């Protein structure tokens, strides 16, 4: 072989079946990735049979250790194979595909279709696709049927090869990029069959010499390369689409090889009697002799060679291994390995080799670590790891994570490669499978202890490692029917405890599937989650325990689940008697019936003699549009039930409601919606329709109070805008609700004029409030003054603030001017002494008192004084001059605006307020602009 394309062949196991199996007479099916091997006697060969005449399928590990046997009593097997989950596929000539696990336990069966069954199969192939494991079959009519996944079998019939009257000379399956296609050879013609195409597509490989027939095909594990063997002995190697040829090699042997397989992706191996020919994809080839019958098992990185005596591996030598072990190699890893060997011999030459590789020590260490992963021989692994460890000592800051990971992984690989386990998985395959898949395969082989130890050693999360493995062990344990159920339950509980990720319900379900009901119930006692307990208890027929656990959980959904299950699976009488013993369940069931089944609800109330509840049911039904009875009948039944319950008040209400059903007559008469309205709304609507007599009749019949009726009459008249009638009604007799509602409805509808008619009749204590409500602030202030109510004045003050904002612009400017010359703000009240105002009237102004200012709208300067009296005013051209002498104690309250402090004999043009301040007998003069006193 070429320098960079060297192959090696080494022994993996010496087979344990040497005295049991003769490969010459056997059909062999081996699973990839070091999986199990299935053997059955080759029906095409005549051999001496001992014992029963039925075929026996023997299943062995890769090391030749017997796992199980299946005595075949079904149809004729034309092909054996393994799925990606290591299930044995047995394809019969009638198109049935039977699946077994590696211990011979039947899984399930599916068919390749009725046409395949009718025409019989002559050949079948098992392949790997992105969907899992697929099956393709060739019928005696030379039609091909395809299934891409044995887990979800969907049979597809492929196109017919043109003019195919004999079996194809060869055919194979190519599954790439979510597309599966079949390559069929009809002598020298090649066709591609696709599920999406209705016709076969012809393809032509570019053989350098003409060929009469392609008699064998092989596809690489990654489905990107194909090898075609012609009857002339020429081997064509190229791309899977046949557009690119890598190499064409003359094998000098025109006979059909027993097997043609790919060795990884770089070489093809052809097997004839006693010889193996390895042909590189680009150049070179090599022969291996074989002195006994063998079976080639293609892998992603090589080919396993299975014989009666041994299990060997042929693979391309990994590049890093070549770099280290090649003769006269000058790579850093080779020098480091030699330095390590010399160091072990205590030779000074170790230092010389280290000096040679000193500048590339880190590369050398990585090469030795990587090469150790590709070695099967533990002695070579140890030698390379020691070399890496030796080199690490000369590097100051080398990260040891890669070294540690490789050491751990090698220990795991060596454990599973052990003869007793028999999984010869390679370093490359391990990276493709992942640790989780490897643990699953150990679990399938029932090596639970080893799987748990590996999970702990690699420090996997508990949910992904130990817990999951223990759950599988428990499921296997419950299937051992010969063991005592009490002991099994205790063993499982002791091992699992309450480990995270472990579900006792799944284990119990497995026990139930095996017919061990009592064991399943026992296991459910260890399940802490009620939502997982209850479905299985119901499935096992443990109805009442399931109901108790649902109630104890406090989850109403679970209680409903159990109740509905019991109702469907128990006689109605037994169900109702059972539920009565559990008050929570009874209450929830009644709630359910109230929403979904009122007939059942009423039956329960009848059974319980609960007349009040029966009456409530009838009342709800009376308003249900789907009710089959009339509303009168339902209300009558409700009244009768209330009488039985001696509930006279409720019975009377039912009777009155029946009287109200006369609303239907009103509805027909006035074409308005009366039915369903309350008495209040019915009377109101009649008043709006001017049906005073009918409204009075209802008022008398149902004893409507005067207060309510007056309110309804007032609201209806205001709604109609009949203010004259409203005025007459207010004078008809004394109002039982007062005169205030009349004001309210007038103001509500924006009729201030009508409201003024009723304001004088409002109660004294409410007058200020209603005058303010009507926007008559002057009258409100006057009334508050007359009533000498300080709180009422403050109330008017608060409501007048917003009115100040509507004063003329001159007024606003005056406020700003006052704010500039006034220095401080003082209190709003002042204790002063006797006061007297000397005022003389010089013009025709008719405002003589401070209280008159309120009437004129000048409430901004009003000072309400609790004094002995006021004198007349004196007016000048500039305004009113007020002389005040402070002698007698009095209180002056400013109604609106801010409060200002004045110095003696200071004139102020404040439009906002007048504030008088003094601590002794002092006279002040204040000039107030005349426009404030102009008439409105």
Residue that finishes a domain, picked among 398, 425, 448: 398
State the pairing for strand pair 189-193/77-82: unpaired
Query: What pLDDT is attached to residue 671?
Result: 66
Summarised one tens digit per residue, pLDDT across range 84-109 is 999 999 999 999 999 999 999 999 99
Same domain for 841 and 769: no
Between helix 556-569 and helix 543-553 the angle, nearest 10°, is 160
User: In this structure, what DSSP letter does residue 172 have?
Assistant: E
CA 464 to chain centre: 22
Looking up tokens 């199990």 gives: 36
Among 47, 84, 92, 51, smallest CA distance to 69 is for 51
Band of pLDDT at residue 835, cut at 50, 70 and 90:
very low
Residue, of 761 and 391, whose pLDDT is higher:
391
Q: Look at the alpha carbons of 763, 765, 766, 769 in this order and tell me if their dihedral is positive or negative.
A: positive
Query: What pLDDT is attached to residue 58?
Result: 94
As a whole number, the mean pLDDT across the chain is 79
Its pTM surpasses 0.75 = no
Domain membership of residue 326 as a residue range: 318-398
User: In this structure, what DSSP letter does residue 847 have?
Assistant: -
Query: What pLDDT is attached to residue 101?
Result: 93
Same domain for 822 and 928: yes
Residue percentage of the chain with pLDDT more than 70 = 79
Give yes or no for residue 752 having a pLDDT over 70. yes
Structure tokens at 456: 């702990």
In a domain, 821, yes or no: yes
Query: What pLDDT is attached to residue 456?
Result: 93
Same domain for 843 and 772: no
In a domain, 343, yes or no: yes
Residue that finishes a domain, picked among 381, 398, 415: 398
Which H helix or E strand runs over 713?
A: helix 706-720
Query: What pLDDT is attached to residue 663?
Result: 61
Residues 363-399: b if buried by 16+ CB within 10 A, e if exposed: ebbbbbbbbbbbbbeeeebebbbbbbbbbbebeeebe
**Cα–Cα distance measured from residue 884 to residue 870, given in angstroms and rounded to the nearest whole number:** 11
User: In this structure, what DSSP letter does residue 472 have?
Assistant: H
**Cα–Cα distance measured from residue 261 to residue 498, given in angstroms and rounded to the nearest whole number:** 50
In a domain, 86, yes or no: no
Query: What pLDDT is attached to residue 52?
Result: 64
**Cα–Cα distance measured from residue 163 to residue 701, given in angstroms and rounded to the nearest whole number:** 101
Same domain for 849 and 788: no
In a domain, 529, yes or no: no
Query: What pLDDT is attached to residue 609?
Result: 66
**What is the arithmetic mean of pLDDT over 625-631?**
61
Same domain for 929 and 819: yes
Same domain for 878 and 847: yes
Give yes or no for residue 858 having a pLDDT over 80. no
Highest mean pLDDT: which of 78-82, 280-284, 477-481, 612-616? 78-82
Contact assessment for residue 905 and residue 924, using Cβ atoms and an 8 Å cutoff? yes
Structure tokens at 76: 């004729």
Strand-pair partners of 27: 40
Query: What pLDDT is attached to residue 263?
Result: 93
Total tally of structural domains belonging to the chain: 3
Same domain for 370 and 328: yes
Same domain for 857 and 827: yes
In a domain, 924, yes or no: yes
Residue that finishes a domain, picked among 775, 806, 837: 806
Query: What pLDDT is attached to residue 426?
Result: 95
* Angle CA 43–48–53, to nearest 5: 65
**What is the arithmetic mean of pLDDT over 866-889?**
34
Query: What pLDDT is attached to residue 376?
Result: 93
Give yes or no for residue 899 having a pLDDT over 50. no
Summarised one tens digit per residue, pLDDT across range 309-323 is 999 999 999 999 999
3-state secondary structure of 899: coil
In a domain, 849, yes or no: yes
Band of pLDDT at residue 62, cut at 50, 70 and 90:
very high
Interacting residues of 19 by C-beta distance below 8 A, sequence separation 6+: none
In a domain, 166, yes or no: no
In a domain, 742, yes or no: no
């Amino acid at each position: 072989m070429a320098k960079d394309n060297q192959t090696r062949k080494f022994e993996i196991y010496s087979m344990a079946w040497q005295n049991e199996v003769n490969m010459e007479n056997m059909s062999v099916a081996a699973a990839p990735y070091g999986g199990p091997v299935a053997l059955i006697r080759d029906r095409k060969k005549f051999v001496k049979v001992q014992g029963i005449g039925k075929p026996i399928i023997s299943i062995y590990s890769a090391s030749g250790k017997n796992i199980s046997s299946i005595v075949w009593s079904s149809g004729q097997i034309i092909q054996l194979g393994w799925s990606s989950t290591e299930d044995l596929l047995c394809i019969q000539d009638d198109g049935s595909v039977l699946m077994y696990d590696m211990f011979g336990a039947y899984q399930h069966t599916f068919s390749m279709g009725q046409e395949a069954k009718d025409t019989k199969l002559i050949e079948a192939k098992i392949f790997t696709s992105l969907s899992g494991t697929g099956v393709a079959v060739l019928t005696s009519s030379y039609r091909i049927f395809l299934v891409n996944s044995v887990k979800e079998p969907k049979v597809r019939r492929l196109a017919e090869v043109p003019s195919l009257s004999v079996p194809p000379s060869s055919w194979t399956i190519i599954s790439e990029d979510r597309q599966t296609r079949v390559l069929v050879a009809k002598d020298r013609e090649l066709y591609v069959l696709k599920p999406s195409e209705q016709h076969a597509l012809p393809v032509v490989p570019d053989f350098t010499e003409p060929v009469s027939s392609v008699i064998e095909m092989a596809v690489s594990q990654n489905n990107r390369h194909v090898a075609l063997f012609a009857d002339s002995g020429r081997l064509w190697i190229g791309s899977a689409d046949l557009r690119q040829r890598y190499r064409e090699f003359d094998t000098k042997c025109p006979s059909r090889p027993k097997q043609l397989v790919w060795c990884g992706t770089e070489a093809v191996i052809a097997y004839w009697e006693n010889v193996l020919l390895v042909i590189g994809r680009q150049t070179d080839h090599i022969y291996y002799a074989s002195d006994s019958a063998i079976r080639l098992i293609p892998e992603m990185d090589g080919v396993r060679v299975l014989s009666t005596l041994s299990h060997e591996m042929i693979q391309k030598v990994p590049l890093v291994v070549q770099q280290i072990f090649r003769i006269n190699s000058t790579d850093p890893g080779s020098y480091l390995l030699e330095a390590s060997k010399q160091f072990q011999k205590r030779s000074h030459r170790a230092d010389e080799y280290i000096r040679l590789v000193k500048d590339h020590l880190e590369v050398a260490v990585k090469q030795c670590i990587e090469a150790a992963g590709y070695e099967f021989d533990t002695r070579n692994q140890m030698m390379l790891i020691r070399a890496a460890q030796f080199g690490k000592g000369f590097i100051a800051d080398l990260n040891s994570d890669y070294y540690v990971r490789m050491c751990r992984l090698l220990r795991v690989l060596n454990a599973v490669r052990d003869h007793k386990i028999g999984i010869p998985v390679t370093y490359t395959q391990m990276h493709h499978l992942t640790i989780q898949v490897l643990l699953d395969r150990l679990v399938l082989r029932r090596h639970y202890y080893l799987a748990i130890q590996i999970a702990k050693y690699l420090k996997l999360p508990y949910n992904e490692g130990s817990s999951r493995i223990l759950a599988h062990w428990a499921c296997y344990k419950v299937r051992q029917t010969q063991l005592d159920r009490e002991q099994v339950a205790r063993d499982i509980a002791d091992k699992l405890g309450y480990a995270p990720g472990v579900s006792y319900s799944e284990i119990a379900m497995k026990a139930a599937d095996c017919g061990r009901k009592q064991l399943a119930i026992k296991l459910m006692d260890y399940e802490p989650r009620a939502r997982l307990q209850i479905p299985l208890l119901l499935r096992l027929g443990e109805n009442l325990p399931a109901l108790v656990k649902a109630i104890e959980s406090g989850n109403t959904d679970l209680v409903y689940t159990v109740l509905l299950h019991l109702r469907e699976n128990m006689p109605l009488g037994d169900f109702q008697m059972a539920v009565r013993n559990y008050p929570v369940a009874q209450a929830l069931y009644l709630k359910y019936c109230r929403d979904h089944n009122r007939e059942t609800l009423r039956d329960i109330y009848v059974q319980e003699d609960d007349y009040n509840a029966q009456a409530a049911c009838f009342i709800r039904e009376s308003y249900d549009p789907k009710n089959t009875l009339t509303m009168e009948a339902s209300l009558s039944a409700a009244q009768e039930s209330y009488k039985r319950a001696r509930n006279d008040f409720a019975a009377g209400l039912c009777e009155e409601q029946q009287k109200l059903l006369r609303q239907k007559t009103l509805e027909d008469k006035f074409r308005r919606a009366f039915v369903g309205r309350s008495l209040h709304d019915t009377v109101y609507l009649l008043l709006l329709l001017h049906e005073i007599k009918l409204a009075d009749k209802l008022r008398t019949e149902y004893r409507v109070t005067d207060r309510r009726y007056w309110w309804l009459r007032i609201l209806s008249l205001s709604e109609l805008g009949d203010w004259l009638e409203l005025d007459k009604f207010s004078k008809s007799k004394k109002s039982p609700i007062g005169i205030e509602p009349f004001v309210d409805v007038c103001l509500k509808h924006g009729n201030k004029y009508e409201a003024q008619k009723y304001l004088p009749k409002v109660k004294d204590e409410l007058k200020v409030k209603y005058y303010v409500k009507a926007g008559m602030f002057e009258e409100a202030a006057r009334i508050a003054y007359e009533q000498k109510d300080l709180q009422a004045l403050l109330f008017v003050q608060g409501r007048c603030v917003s009115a100040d904002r509507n004063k003329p612009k001159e007024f606003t400017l005056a406020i700003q001017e006052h704010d500039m010359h006034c220095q401080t703000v003082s209190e709003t009240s002042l204790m002063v002494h006797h006061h007297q105002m000397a005022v003389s009237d010089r013009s025709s102004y008719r405002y003589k008192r401070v209280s008159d200012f309120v009437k004129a709208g000048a409430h901004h300067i009003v000072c309400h004084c609790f004094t002995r009296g006021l004198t007349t005013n004196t007016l000048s051209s500039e305004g009113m001059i007020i002389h005040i002498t402070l002698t007698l104690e009095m209180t002056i309250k400013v109604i609106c605006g801010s409060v200002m402090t004045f110095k003696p004999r200071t004139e102020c043009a404040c439009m906002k307020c007048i504030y008088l301040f003094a601590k002794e007998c002092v006279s002040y003069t204040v000039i107030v602009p005349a426009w404030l006193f102009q008439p409105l």
